[in-house]
Amino acid sequence: MTSAHLESDASAALLMRGLTHSSSAFEVVTLSRRHLGDAWAGNTINTVIFRHHGILTHLDWQITAFYVDSRTMRIVQRNLKTEVLESHDVEGVYDLNDAHNSISLGVDRNGHIHLCYGHHATRLRYRRSVRANDIGGWTDELPMTGTSEERVTYPTFVQPHHGFPLVLLYRDGVHDSGNARLKVYDEETESWVDRPLPILSGSQSKPWTSNAYWNHPAIGSDGSLHLSFVWRTHTLGDEDLINNVNIGYACSFDNGVSWRTSRGHSYKLPITQVNAEVIFPNSPGSNLINQCSMALDSRNHPHIVFYADDSGGIPQYQHLYFDGTQWRHQIISSRTQPFALRGKGTLQVPISRPEVVIDRFDNVYVITRGDHSRGRMTATLLAAPDYLWSEKNTRFILDEDLGFAEPIIDRTRWENESVLSLLLQRNEQPAHDLDCLVVNSAVTLLDIKFTNN
């Protein structure tokens, strides 16, 4: 795709003044920043938003991972009580020229750390730590079950919760013909088991196949597991436009065995474009982006953030949430420049995909980076209970240009401590993953909290 122009200097300057001089009580407070060293930054492989998890906390340890170079994957463990940092390098051969090949982390109920990395419709690459809560030793690369492991993308670890074990959600297939499958870990036997049917499937649709791209899964206080997703079809027209349509939803109360709609109706598996609940319609060619985020409020109601075109054809950030009776929607940005999602691979677009967290008072914070903030990572407050958006309620998280980086957050620590840790790195991102520059930049861990008096 062609890169969009940045917004005018005048409008950007107005926004910057609003970010730094607003009199609103909402503030971002920096608690600490830890430097983890320099690493590959030729694309967004270390900061692509769909890493789940890219950073997470288990007990007193915070764990993250990133690629230093094409031979080195670095695992970092931070003791949150003593602030001691440890690192361990896993040597191997890593394809850094495709930002899909990111690293995802999970931790089982015995404290063993699990790693999946290097996937774009390719063979599963998976290791786990030899000892619990210890990054110093790793198994060789292992299969999980050996079934449906040849065309893996987007490995997503669903952390153990409410007595349920660690689960891996992943795509089996390709961008317009795929299945979302689950594997479940058994700590006693140190082995994985396949769920018999895909959750989401477009590979058998006729005459046109499709694939479901999910946002970050969310776990409720009642043990519920929530998924929201869009459907990708073939590209549109001679322009080769990426075509994501509609936002769907499913919820499980048994860790992914059975699923239901937001109205409580049971699904027959797999969920397809035919039987999926559409919670927000998006027409073909509307620049609806795939793989954004979702969080739950205190009533376990989902809040989804994404971007898509407004009525004038300008991509805008949007907030979609369930109030217990109906799904409500609002636009939460005021961008003025168009761009188009077009072509293959990782695209060079002027805005990041949005992240979202919700505090104990049900206030929503949307985290973004892009032309609206001159590359700075920002947080926008949507205050409960009305969630009304105002440009005045946006703040810098960090006043540094982060290039094309997307927000990578520790959602487990946020849920436990109301402290938000972000993995930050300034990244390049060539269009379609072509001609990556060989550049490095600093990787840091930033801890912040939000005040909203």
| Model pTM score | 0.94
Which residue, among 281, 113, 302, has the nearest Cα to 217 in the 3D structure? 302
- The enclosing H or E element of 11 equals helix 9-21
Question: Which phi and psi (to 5°) does residue 189 adopt?
Answer: -100, -5
Which pLDDT band holds residue 22 (cuts at 50, 70, 90)? very low
Number of Cβ within a 10 Å radius of residue 355: 26
Asked whether the predicted pLDDT for residue 76 surpasses 70, the reply is yes
Lookup result for tokens 């930050």? 424
Question: Radius of gyration over alpha carbons of the chain, in Å?
Answer: 20
Give the architecture (CATH level 2) of 9-452.
6 Propeller (2.120)
Which of 20-29, 271-280, 367-376 shows the lowest per-residue confidence on average (mean pLDDT)?
Answer: 20-29
Tell me what pLDDT residue 180 has: 99
What average pLDDT does range 318-334 have in this prediction? 98
The per-residue DSSP string of 157-211 comes to: EE--BTTB--EEEEEEEETTEEEEEEEEEETTTTEEEE-SS-SEE-TT-SSS--E
**Region of poorest pLDDT, from 20-34, 226-240, 249-263:** 20-34
**What pLDDT score does 19 carry?**
54
Which residues touch 127 (CB under 8 Å, ≥6 apart)?
Answer: 90, 114, 115, 138, 139, 140, 141, 142
pLDDT (0 to 100) of residue 6: 30
pLDDT of residue 24: 59
Which pLDDT score is estimated for 431? 74
Tell me what the pLDDT averaged over the chain comes to: 94
Reply yes or no on whether the pLDDT at 393 is more than 90: yes
Q: Assess whether pLDDT exceeds 90 at residue 183.
A: yes
Amino acid at 174: V
Residue (of 442, 451, 350, 369) closest to 409 by Cα position: 369
Instruction: Note the pLDDT of residue 11.
Output: 39
Written in H, E and C, the secondary structure of 303-367 is EEEEEEECCCCCEEEEEEEECCCCEEEEECCCCCCCCCCECCCCCCCCECCCEEEECCCCCEEEE
Poorest-confidence range of 203-212, 219-228, 383-392, 422-431?
422-431
* Confidence at 20, pLDDT banded by 50, 70, 90: very low
Residue 453: per-residue pLDDT = 72
Candidate from 22-31, 62-71, 251-260, 290-299 with smallest mean pLDDT: 22-31
CA pair distance 11, 7, nearest whole angstrom? 7
What mean pLDDT comes out for the span 26-33? Answer: 98
Whole-number pLDDT of residue 345: 62
Residue range 177-188: average pLDDT?
A: 98
117-135 average pLDDT score: 98
What is the H or E stretch that residue 258 is in?
Answer: none
Mean pLDDT of 265-270: 98
Q: What pLDDT is attached to residue 437?
A: 82
- Provide the percentage of residues in the chain whose pLDDT is more than 90: 89
Cα 422 from Cα 405, distance rounded (Å)? 12
